[in-house]
């Protein structure tokens, strides 16, 4: 069996997911454990006739199936997540083994990509283990800092710049979070970063993945100003915080909506959110970086 840690979870699998599991100075903290195995008996998951079609991703059709209406995830509920022509994932709610059945276009890299990048965040959401934010996340002085922005607005570029300045990567795109003792924690995802739009690709390997689970320090919402070179960081307050973060909240299953809106409301009451207005110009990327680092350190000193 092969082992690695992703999303704060030790995965024990029947084949290696990564060619070089991370074992750096910040060994990834494991909060849970899963097994990932080839499905020994597909008949156990037949008859899952309640389906929900997801928006196509990476050129693939995605469908989630279950044996009952999506009203509540109940212990013993059977699930299947199908990536057309690549793989189907199966599990029973409340259990911690995930099975897979590869299809005609599958290979090891595709299996790893769909399992790690797409399926696991959906699984952790349905099993109510984590809530996911669509954000890049790095550490500044060992404090998790998140970047949110609409697609193609520079989030990945800024995350990539921080990585290259030797900040540890927490998450490339999907940040798992949870609440404990009235604090909201960010969990490291996996040691790959994809600052480009290439289909079905995990990205390049990051040597320095931040391995600790720590309270979220701040969230920066990236804006743009094409008319000036001025960089401004201003705090977002009131209901505007909720409006800013809501579009970046992933996987809004109807039966989870009420409790997740409550979670989000609590999160915005605890975590400071700042608007970063900056010139849409890569020549100013270093200035944006230094401004955010300086601001984050000032915030830490104030607390």
> What's the pLDDT tens digit per position in 204-254?
999 888 888 999 999 999 987 666 668 999 999 999 999 999 999 888 788
Question: In this predicted model, which residue has the larger pLDDT, 191 or 252?
Answer: 191
Query: Please, which pLDDT band fits residue 256 given cuts at 50, 70 and 90?
Result: confident
| pTM for this predicted structure | 0.93
| Sheet-wide strand order for 214-215 | 131-134, 174-180, 183-186, 214-215
What pLDDT shows up at residue 29?
61
Instruction: Judge contact between 206 and 169, C-beta under 8 A.
Output: yes
Helix (H) or strand (E) holding 109: helix 108-113
Which of 6-20, 53-67, 87-101 reaches the highest mean pLDDT? 87-101
What pLDDT shows up at residue 286?
94
Query: Which structure tokens are listed for 151?
Result: 């697609």
Query: Which structure tokens are listed for 226?
Result: 């094409």
What are the chain's domains? 2-129 (no CATH), 133-302 (3.40.50)
Query: Which structure tokens are listed for 299?
Result: 């915030």
> What's the pLDDT tens digit per position in 109-150?
999 999 999 999 999 999 989 999 999 999 999 999 999 988
**For residue 25, pLDDT beyond 60:** no
The closest alpha carbon to 185, from 204, 159, 205, 213, belongs to: 213
Percent of the residues in the chain that have a pLDDT greater than 70, as a whole number: 94
The rounded mean pLDDT for the chain is 90
> What's the pLDDT tens digit per position in 145-188?
999 988 767 899 999 999 999 999 999 999 999 999 999 999 99
What pLDDT shows up at residue 20?
65
What pLDDT shows up at residue 23?
44
Percent of the residues in the chain that have a pLDDT greater than 90, as a whole number: 65
The closest alpha carbon to 103, from 80, 85, 118, 119, belongs to: 85
Query: Which structure tokens are listed for 81?
Result: 């997540």
What pLDDT shows up at residue 24?
41
**For residue 26, pLDDT beyond 70:** no
Which of 29-43, 216-230, 262-276, 288-302 shows the lowest mean pLDDT across its residues? 216-230
| Sheet-wide strand order for 87-92 | 2-6, 9-13, 32-38, 97-102, 87-92, 78-83, 62-66, 50-53
Question: In this predicted model, which residue has the larger pLDDT, 124 or 26?
Answer: 124
What pLDDT shows up at residue 21?
55
Question: In this predicted model, which residue has the larger pLDDT, 3 or 229?
Answer: 3
Which of 24-28, 32-36, 139-143, 150-154 shows the lowest mean pLDDT across its residues? 24-28
């Amino acid at each position: 069996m092969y082992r690695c840690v992703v999303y704060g979870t030790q995965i024990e699998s029947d084949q290696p997911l990564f060619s070089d599991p991370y074992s750096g100075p910040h060994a990834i903290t494991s909060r849970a454990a899963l097994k990932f195995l080839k499905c020994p008996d597909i008949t156990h998951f037949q008859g899952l006739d309640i389906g929900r079609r997801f928006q196509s991703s990476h050129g693939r059709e995605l469908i989630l199936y279950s044996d009952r209406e999506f009203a509540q995830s109940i212990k013993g509920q059977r699930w299947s997540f199908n990536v057309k022509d690549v793989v189907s994932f199966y599990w029973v709610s409340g259990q911690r083994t995930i099975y897979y059945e590869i299809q005609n276009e599958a290979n090891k890299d595709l299996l790893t990509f769909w399992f790690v990048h797409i399926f696991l965040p959906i699984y952790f959401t349905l099993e109510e283990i984590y809530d996911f934010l669509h954000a890049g996340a790095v550490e500044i002085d060992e404090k998790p800092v998140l970047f949110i922005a609409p697609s193609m607005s520079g989030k990945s570029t800024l995350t990539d710049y921080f990585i290259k300045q030797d900040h540890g990567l927490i998450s490339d795109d999907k940040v798992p979070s949870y609440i404990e003792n009235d604090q909201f924690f960010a969990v490291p995802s996996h040691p790959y970063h994809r600052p480009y739009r290439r289909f079905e690709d995990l990205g390049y390997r990051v040597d320095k993945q931040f391995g600790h689970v720590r309270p979220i320090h701040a969230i920066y919402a990236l804006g743009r100003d094409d008319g000036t070179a001025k960089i401004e960081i201003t705090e977002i307050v009131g209901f505007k915080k909720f409006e800013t973060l809501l579009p970046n909240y992933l996987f809004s299953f109807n039966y989870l909506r009420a409790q997740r809106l409550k979670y989000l409301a609590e999160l915005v009451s605890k975590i400071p959110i700042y608007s970063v207005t900056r010139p849409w110009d890569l020549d100013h990327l270093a200035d944006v970086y230094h401004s955010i680092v300086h601001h984050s350190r000032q915030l830490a000193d104030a607390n």
